[in-house]
Structure 1
Amino acid sequence: MVLTDTPATERSPVNLYLSLLRTGVPALVGWLVAAAARYGLDFDATALAGVLVPLVSFVYYAVFRAAEHYLSPRWGWLLGYAKPPAYPAGKAALPQ
């Protein structure tokens, strides 16, 4: 599926930066938890990181994204920025 005619506001460098920041912060937290856990558990470091980093990152993102949505937008700061990127509604044209 190819989407065309993306509005300029959707392609904004600020939106790109915010989306990357909000993905990177949970990934960093996942990596830090995995690195810290490595010193307390008797597992192969590679196997531990391969399991914990994506798992902790996902849980971290899910918890704080839900808190941001249902409790207060201030929880978004724990994802790197206090509000999600703005993607205005628009129609995506499918190739014919």
Structure 2
Amino acid sequence: MNLYLSLIRTAVPALVGWLVALAAEHGLHLDAQALSQVLIPAAAFCYYAVFRLAEHYVSPKWGWLLGYARPPQYDLAV
């Protein structure tokens, strides 16, 4: 469950960026710099997701590509 929570925490900013990019296609005029500020978080999410999944399902050794920190631990509050 912790794996999916960490992906969701990373996906939300990327989703917001995607929505802004959609709005840009339909009339919200953004310059190239503003649009790159949308694409960079999306690319960061993809990088994080690939190596977080590899760390979880393949081998913990893949964690070094994420800074070799421990995977996030979340308490289940009831």
The TM-score, its normalising length taken from structure 1, stands at 0.41
Structure in which a larger fraction of residues adopt helix? 2
The TM-score, its normalising length taken from structure 2, stands at 0.48
**Structure of larger gyration radius:** 1
Question: RCO (CA 8 Å, sep 6+): is it higher in 1 or 2?
Answer: 1
